[in-house]
Structure 1
Amino acid sequence: MDTIASLFSFITWPVSWVIVQFHKLYGAIFGPDTGWAWGLSIVSLVVLIRICLIPLFVKQIKSTRNMQALQPKMKAIQERYKSDKQRQSEEMMKLYKETGTNPLSSCLPILAQSPFFFALYHVLSNIASGKVIGVIDQPLLESARKAHIFGAPLASKFTDSAAEVAALDASLTSVRIVTAIMIILMSASQFFTQRQLMMKNVDLSVKTPYMQQQKMLMYIFPVIFAVMGINFPVGVLVYWLTTNVWTMGQQMYVINQNPTPGSKAQDSYLQRLLKSVTQHGEIRSRRHKAVVKAIVAKGSDRNENERRFIGALSKAGFAAQADGTVVKSDAAVAEAEGIAAPKRQQPKRQTKAQRQSGGQQGKGEEAVEETPEESAGEAAQDAPAKPSLEKKPETPAKGGAQGGRSRANSGGSRPRKGQQRPKHPSSKK
């Protein structure tokens, strides 16, 4: 560990300078030689470093989600080019380039933090050895060696001998108890951080080998930290425990406010958003509007959580809009409950007698409008044909006999027009 730490000795000066500046601040409050002054200086160093690493943490989240989404495609490429490793690598790189994914982005926060970790380890190791390092001069060195956290010196380790611990004015029992508790807390925080990521913030609809790898790391990492922790000075354990707690809190915030699509965390987030909409009748924050806008834009590509959210909005009487807002909509309720608007049915055609009788018996019944042609046709069918009584004006006959024959043949009247009623078979012709 000392050899690795010496590789990052170039950064020990800025790390020691930051610690000294925080020590001046806390030393004025708690006293310069107290463990609180030096311990809080280390904690403040962690907070400062992690704030600077927030942009890398955002990239880590995006890269992790992209890697989860690309797992099925990556598996298909591996199966397709199983015998051609070079072509397989080319297709993988092409996939990463098309989607803008960098596999190393998920490791960026750890890689960026490691120089500060080893530099701090190098500083504390020199304090334990009584060597001046960076901006820590001899008076500050003596002050740091006297600082104890719950009876354990900052530079002491779990593996130190009784003589080494006695040289730092402490007992071996207190050192081992404090270091053991801190190692357990460090490993437990690492396990809980990884567990909440796997149990709440993973898309359960996609089963890939990536999930199995993450599950293995959930159990392997705490064991690695526990084994390595016995060789860490108390000050480094304070540093690593603080950064684990920061990571755990940061992860909880991301899971609650920006969950992975398709995960349990997204379902809980959308349920909280639905409750807020039903209580206030609108979407207030811009971030919530952006979420609803993205869900509406997906259309048929929504996952199960998003479809359930849109359906619940409809049942509550709201319709999500393309701009991320919601509006009151009775049609959305009817559509969600599967109730279609009743269609107007055309009543059956009635005869004139039925319409007349129906108009006398009931009120408000609808009747079908008829055209004049339809009314005339029905009247012709209902009423019997009557002979016309009109007489054609007679013209003066040329001769009496001819006029008499004409009147006899015509029977004294004009022939009937239109359709005639058929004669009964028994009637005489």
Structure 2
Amino acid sequence: MDILGTILWPIKWVIEAILVTFHTLLTAAGMDTDAGLTWVLSIVGLVLVVRALLIPLFVKQIKSQRRMLEVAPQLKKIQDKYRGKKDQFSREAMQRETMALYKRTGTNPLASCLPLLIQMPIFFGLFSVLQGAQSEGNPAGIGFLNQELATSFGTSELLGAPLHLAISTAGGNINVIIIAAIMVVLMTGSQFITQLQIMSKNQSPEMKNSPMFKQQRVLLYLLPLVFAFSGFTFPLGVMFYWLVSNFWTMVQQFLVIRNMPTPGSEAALARENRIAKRNARRGITIVEESEAKPAVEPKTTQRQQPVGKARAKKKPATPR
């Protein structure tokens, strides 16, 4: 076993366990054990489990990206300070000031990439599981994917398109080409919307003038090329994982921008307006209720003091 295989071994074991668990549940619910739809829904279940576990890291990623954009102007000042200076002393000084800035502001350049870095081994682990199950003879996996399930997974089809095929290996199968092309469009569209809503709604004016914002704009138009390449080379089963993961990211990003926007951004102003309108409506409702139900003054009862016999017989003098 090579180094990559050693690294992926525990990941593949977990992937097989999740796939087989969902496949067993779907089969118990009455679905065909060998149907491609059953295996696709099992892959969807895998995405839901993985992305749910990554939610804390995603929140950390959002906060890290926000801090990086906020400190970008300060970082640019340090870079401009040592621009053109290539001596060892200047490089070390720039490195020290940069690290001091990161430490002072609590930022970490690698934190924003952490969820992606964690998902990549899972992605390649699924690719390896799918590739292994659908290779010649459909060999069993390393864990829960036994010979019977490996054969079922390796020969499954969705709408006449085998899940192990890609456009590059379709061999003229028009169903594979059409499904892969549709998924490429959906993957590109979902990623474009996700990135666009970050750039257009969740950026403060200072962030839009930072160098990192320009890098995001380049990434916005570069990703479609990445998805086009993946749609040509990756099997349908792996593409289903990527597509569902993109949809999860798009919805998750929408909720984060709506409820936890960057201060000073368009999304933050929109949230403040929603809160103000909601408070205004509540205030009107309270006033209307108070006007509809006028307050009734409580009746006060004064306790009469007991009067003694001597005081009761004594009458006040009549004024003349």
Give the TM bin, normalised by the shorter chain: 0.7 to 0.9
- Name the stretch that deviates more: 226-235 or 244-253: 226-235
TM alignment of 1:15-414, pairs within 5 A: 15-29=15-29, 30-82=31-83, 83=85, 84-129=90-135, 130-134=138-142, 135-162=144-171, 172-206=173-207, 207-281=209-283
- When residues 268 and 161 of structure 1 are mapped into structure 2, their CA distance, relative to the original with a 3 A threshold, is closer
What CA deviation, in whole Å up to 9, does each residue of 1:349-371 have, x standing for no partner?
xxxxxxxxxxxxxxxxxxxxxxx
- How many equivalent residue pairs? 273
User: Retained in 1: the 8 A contact 2:202–2:267?
Assistant: yes
- When residues 185 and 116 of structure 1 are mapped into structure 2, their CA distance, relative to the original with a 3 A threshold, is same
- When residues 217 and 6 of structure 1 are mapped into structure 2, their CA distance, relative to the original with a 3 A threshold, is farther
User: Residue 91 of structure 1: SS of its match in structure 2?
Assistant: helix
What CA deviation, in whole Å up to 9, does each residue of 1:238-261 have, x standing for no partner?
000000000000000001111111
What CA deviation, in whole Å up to 9, does each residue of 1:101-126 have, x standing for no partner?
11111001101111111100000111
Aligned partner letter, 1:28: A
What CA deviation, in whole Å up to 9, does each residue of 1:204-255 have, x standing for no partner?
2441111101111111122112212211111100000000000000000001
What CA deviation, in whole Å up to 9, does each residue of 1:81-133 have, x standing for no partner?
22222211110000101111111110011011111111000001112212221
Aligned partner letter, 1:174: N
User: Retained in 2: the 8 A contact 1:156–1:175?
Assistant: yes
What CA deviation, in whole Å up to 9, does each residue of 1:47-70 have, x standing for no partner?
100111011001101100101110
* In structure 2, distance between residues paired with 1:230 and 1:14: 27
**Counting helix residues as a fraction of each chain, which structure ranks higher?**
2
* TM-score (normalizing by structure 2): 0.81
Which structure 2 residue ranges, 5 or more long, are not aligned? Answer: 285-320
* In structure 1, distance between residues paired with 2:34 and 2:3: 29
User: Residue 8 of structure 1: SS of its match in structure 2?
Assistant: helix
Aligned partner letter, 1:136: L
Q: Runs of 4+ in structure 1 displaced over 3 angstroms?
A: 2-7
- Structure possessing the higher relative contact order (Cα contacts under 8 Å, 6 or more residues apart): 2
Which structure 1 residue ranges, 5 or more long, are not aligned? Answer: 163-170, 283-429
Aligned partner letter, 2:92: Q
User: Residue 249 of structure 1: SS of its match in structure 2?
Assistant: helix
User: Retained in 1: the 8 A contact 2:130–2:154?
Assistant: no
* In structure 2, distance between residues paired with 1:149 and 1:264: 43
In the alignment, which residue of structure 2 is the partner of 1:413?
none
* TM-score (normalizing by structure 1): 0.61
Aligned partner letter, 1:132: A
